Each structure stands twice: as structure tokens, then as C-alpha cells.
Amino acid sequence: MSKYWNERIHKLEPYVPGEQPKDRRYIKLNTNENPYPPSPGVLAAIKEAVNDQLRLYPDPNEDELRATLAKYYQLSSDNIFVGNGSDEVLAFSFMTFFSPDRPVMFADITYSFYKVFANLCELKPEIIPLDDTFQIPVGAFREPSGGAVIPNPNAPTGQEIAVQSIKDILEADRNRVVIIDEAYVNFGGTSVVPLIKEYPNLLVVQTLSKYSALAGIRVGYAFGDSELIQGLNRLKNSINSYTVDRLALAGAKAAIEDDHYYNQMAQHVIQTRENAVKRLAGMGFTIIPSKANFIFISHPDYKAEDLFHKLREKGILVRYFNQPRISDYLRVSIGSDEEMDQFILAVQELLSH
């Protein structure tokens, strides 16, 4: 607390990112990064962009990147907004589409940044409890509200919601914006990007951080009706017109063009995930069915918090959420096969003592 802060800053409850430790080498299974490197084409494009043009501002409209995305997704550039990571795109969306006079809905167990954004915008969230099996309760999300945000697959559970359920939620109230956060959709989920043509109240948010192994360059985007995109541009150009730098623009464009490479990596991550699920189930773990690059697991005989600390001592980082309903669970990012072998070996050792 400080007397120099204004009232707004006093009232914030900032997000706490997963740790990025520097004290020793860890097997990092805590922030859902991709275990594989960006494609060679991406690295080459970024290196090529390191030149004297860096003295110039980047394109504030990201025309080339949006054209590349438009071609890939068969949309118009007017349907695409690009930002400095999808967290920024989400923050801008909260500021653009939701109002304090009508509650915005999101689940009790979901990406914890939504609550932070809601608080920042002084919105009243309506928290929708997931059902007993941690599924999104579609009926509750169909009730009237000032908007809704749903990650598909959900985080940190990894569970997906059916496309038809998303349609039902969109149709229940066409006067509010529904944001579908597809940060993990490429690990076996189904994207609803094609639905933006049918539903002017749908905004789909994606990121290069997970699937495209580019958490380090910070690029995210949103797809929606051009009216939604125009709203986001009004907000962006009232804060910072150059949110995506030249190196990020170059890398992002190459990443979209190298989809074949990324798709192969994702298929490998999916295989590694299914393999880990089988082995952990054999060790007595409960595992929520995951369509993401992480799994949400719980063991009847070992407290999740203890397991988290013991794994850390062994040099393995996973994510523990000290929060109601999920304090018995750990979220484990899917690493390389070798990393998952070491994780499972460490867990076996801990369970046998």
C-alpha cells in the first residue's frame, strides 16, 4: 500500500503468474508452455527482422499478419484483432464489451485472470459453479447476463464444451457478447471460429503462446464480427497503438504459415498426454479428461499441496491452486516424453514412501 496510489490501484487484486524461477534448472510443467521449440521458419523470420528498420514504429494495424490470418481462417481482415498476448486481447475485450450495470458470467473454476479483469473494470461478475464433474453448466450460462467468458477447453481442468452448447449459449441472448477463449483448442478441441459469421455476438480469442511455442514474443488475437473488432480498435487506440512489435509481427506471420510443423508437435503432445494419463490412472490418480496441453489430477492418498512441494524439491514444477473445490488437484503441463518420464518416476517414488 502507498499513499501515492490512487483509489483504483488500491482496489486491484492482480493476477499471480506461475513461477519462472532462476535459482536452478527445473523441469517446468507449471505454465503450459510448449516443450518444443518454435519452427525454424519462425526463428529465421525473427532474425531477419533484426535490422535497421527497428528504428521505425511497427504497423499499428498489423495488416500483413491479419491478412495471413484471414487467409488461413478464410475470414476477412476486418474480422481480426491482434494484441500483445491474448491476456491483453482479453483485457481490452472486458473493457470494450462489458459494463458495471450488468453482470459478466464466468465459471468458479476457470482462468483466474477473468476475475482480475472484472475487478479492474469494476464489473460485477456472476460466478457460475462448474458441475460435480467439473463440466461447464450450459443451462446456467444461457440465463440473461451482460456477457460471458468461457475457455474451451477450460483451464485448469482441460475439459471441453460441445460446439452445440456454445451455440445454445450464443442464441440464448444475442444482445450480449460471449467470449470463447481458445488458448488450448489445438490440442484436440474444436474451434468455433467459423461461427463468427453466424453470430455477431461471438468473440473467439486465441494465442501463439501455447500451440505455437511463442510465449516469449507475446502475440494473441481475436476473431469476431467487424463491429466487435472496431470496438476493440477504438479501445486499443486510446491506450497504445503499437502493441505488437516488429519482431513479434514477423514471428507470428511465419508461425501461421508453418502450421504443418506446429500441428505435428501438437499431435506429439497429445500422444504424450494420453500416455501420461494411462500411467497416472494406473497409479491411482483421478484425471479430468483433457483436450489441452495439461492435465488436472488428484490422488486419494497424497495431498496435492504436499505433492507440489515434494516435486519442487526434486526439481519439478507443477501448478497448485490453493482455492476451494480444487485444492486436491495439481495441474501438470505436458512436457516432452523425457520430462513426463521423470515426472512420473518422481511421483512413483513419493507415493511409495
Ligand X SMILES: *Cc1c(COP(=O)(O)O)cnc(C)c1O
How many Cβ atoms from other residues are within 10 Å of residue 48's Cβ?
Answer: 11
Backbone angles phi and psi of 162, in degrees to 5? -70, 150
Asked whether position 209 contacts ligand X by CB under 6 A, the answer is yes
Q: Which of 108, 167, 159, 177 has its CA nearest to residue 138?
A: 167
Backbone angles phi and psi of 338, in degrees to 5? -65, -45
Residues, the chain: 353
Window contacting ligand X (CB under 6 A); options: 85-93, 96-104, 261-269, 329-337: 85-93
Rounded Cα distance, 164 and 176, in Å: 18
Window contacting ligand X (CB under 6 A); options: 82-90, 127-135, 307-315, 318-326: 82-90
For ligand X, which is the closer residue by CB, 151 or 251? 151
Helix and strand totals (H; E) in the chain: 12, 13
Asked whether position 293 contacts ligand X by CB under 6 A, the answer is no
Asked whether position 33 contacts ligand X by CB under 6 A, the answer is no
For ligand X, which is the closer residue by CB, 197 or 325? 325
How many degrees, rounded to 5, is the angle at CA 285 between CA 284 and CA 291? 140
Asked whether position 116 contacts ligand X by CB under 6 A, the answer is no
Q: Is 195 exposed, middle or buried (0-12, 13-18, 19+ CB in 10 A)?
A: middle
Binding positions for ligand X, 134-193, rule CB under 6 A? 151, 155, 181, 183
For ligand X, which is the closer residue by CB, 123 or 204? 204
CB of 187 to ligand X, least distance (A): 12
Give, rounded to a whole angstrom, the gap between the first and last alpha carbons of the chain. 44
CB of 209 to ligand X, least distance (A): 3
CB of 171 to ligand X, least distance (A): 24
Instruction: Using CB under 6 A, pick the residue from 30, 34, 68, 86 that binds ligand X.
Output: 86
CB of 341 to ligand X, least distance (A): 25
Backbone angles phi and psi of 194, in degrees to 5? -60, -20
Please work out the total of residues on this chain that contact ligand X, with binding judged by CB under 6 A. Answer: 13
For ligand X, which is the closer residue by CB, 326 or 347? 326
For ligand X, which is the closer residue by CB, 34 or 207? 207
CB of 256 to ligand X, least distance (A): 15
Q: Which of 155, 143, 102 has its CA nearest to residue 331?
A: 155
CA distances from 306 to 303, 309, 310, 326, 330 (A): 5, 5, 6, 14, 10
Instruction: Using CB under 6 A, pick the residue from 58, 62, 69, 87 that binds ligand X.
Output: 87
Positions touching ligand X (CB under 6 A) are 32, 85-87, 111, 151, 155, 181, 183, 207, 209, 215, 220
